[in-house]
Amino acid sequence: MTVINQATCKLFTDNERFTQLSGYYEEERRTIWMMLRARPRPCFNHALIEEIMNISWLVKRAGFAVDFWVTGSLVPGMYNTGGDLQFFVECIKNGRREALRAYARACVDCVHAASRGFDTGAISLAMVEGSALGGGFEAALAHHFLLAQRDARMGFPEIAFNLFPGMGAYSLVVRRSGMKLAEDLIYKGESHTAEWYEKQGLVDQVFDVGQGFMAVRTFIDTLQPRLNGVRAMLRARQRVLQLPRSELMDITEDWVDAAFCVQSKDIAYMERLVLLQNRHIAVSLRNAS
């Protein structure tokens, strides 16, 4: 968890319109720091999804000169737990297929926005200082670069409740590291440390505990004098390894269908996970206070 308290980073979001994240602008580095703080659980709830899309609009309206966009977390020990399991359960139990489909498509739009630098011309970087699971890991992988605390655990646990990560996991991992690794991660459901993922090519750089902010700033400083070349490289990446929104949407449509095929035991597992997430965040917040 990085708390942005540097004098050079100016808060530009207010607590009335933005309750799930905080946005800072660092003029010297032409960098947006988008720090997630979703409540009551650090997952992709409806409010967080909406605020991610709104902050992109706000940045463009403010006219900030942006070269880099960093996504981090203000939640101790947690980047993001992924999908809103409580909402999944409610939709499945009550047959709200269209509501779940709309949610899934909105998540895909957030993932795709990260892959485009949030439509600001920025190079996007994920700063992962805690667990990134399911959709949280998908969101991190969607950024142009992923920097993570060396002991941070990441993975796709959805198979434990008989589902799969349907908001970009397969597409993103295949493009970075191949089909075999993508399928191993999805059907085994195991989590691994950032150091392990660095060896697999999914994490670009690891850093020590408490060094996230400095590590990302240093990484930005190494890219800055090569910005023109790096941007050209990323355009080449996009041409060779295109990530069409339509591909992501097709897969998430299948995810919705699969969600309505889970059994009662799978729903019960999701409900237990929600309780565990609530306990975990309560303990983390107490320890941080």
Region 63-90: mean pLDDT is 97
More confident residue, 286 or 86: 86
Residue 227 has what pLDDT? 98
Task: Give the pairing type, strands 191-193 and 153-155.
Answer: antiparallel
User: For the segment 214-232, what is each residue's pLDDT rounded down to a tens digit?
Assistant: 999 999 999 999 999 999 9
pLDDT band for position 286 (50/70/90)? low
Residues 141/172, Cβ–Cβ less than 8 Å: yes
Residue 4 has what pLDDT? 66
pLDDT band for position 239 (50/70/90)? very high
Beta bridge partners of 286: none
Alpha-carbon dihedral sign for residues 236, 69, 118, 185: positive
* Residue 113 in tokens: 């926005």
Nearest to 36 by CA among 115, 121, 114: 114
User: For the segment 94-108, what is each residue's pLDDT rounded down to a tens digit?
Assistant: 999 999 999 999 999
DSSP assignment of 96-122: -HHHHHHHHHHHHHHHHHHHTGGGTTP
Residue 3 has what pLDDT? 58
pLDDT band for position 7 (50/70/90)? confident
Distance set, CA 242 to CA 5, 19, 140, 154, 183 (Å): 37, 33, 17, 24, 20
Residue 279 has what pLDDT? 81
Average pLDDT of every residue of the chain: 95
Residue 49 has what pLDDT? 98
Please provide the CATH number assigned to the domain covering 9-209+228-284.
Answer: 3.90.226.10
Q: Which helix (H) or strand (E) holds 179?
A: helix 179-188
Residue 280 has what pLDDT? 73
* pLDDT at residue 272 tops 60: yes
Distance set, CA 138 to CA 1, 81, 116, 180 (Å): 19, 10, 14, 17
Give the CA-trace dihedral at 159, 160, 161, 163, to 10 degrees: 0
pLDDT band for position 289 (50/70/90)? low
* pLDDT at residue 73 tops 90: yes
Q: Find tokens 């020990």 and name the residue.
A: 77
> In the chain, what are the domain boundaries?
9-209+228-284
Region 134-141: mean pLDDT is 99
pLDDT band for position 35 (50/70/90)? very high
Residue 183 has what pLDDT? 99
Residue 281 has what pLDDT? 72
3-state secondary structure of 131: strand
Distance set, CA 56 to CA 124, 234, 250 (Å): 12, 20, 25
Q: How far apart are CA 241 and CA 234, in angstroms?
A: 10
pLDDT band for position 190 (50/70/90)? very high
Residue 261 has what pLDDT? 98
| Chain centre distance of CA 46 | 14
Q: What percent of the chain has pLDDT over 70?
A: 96
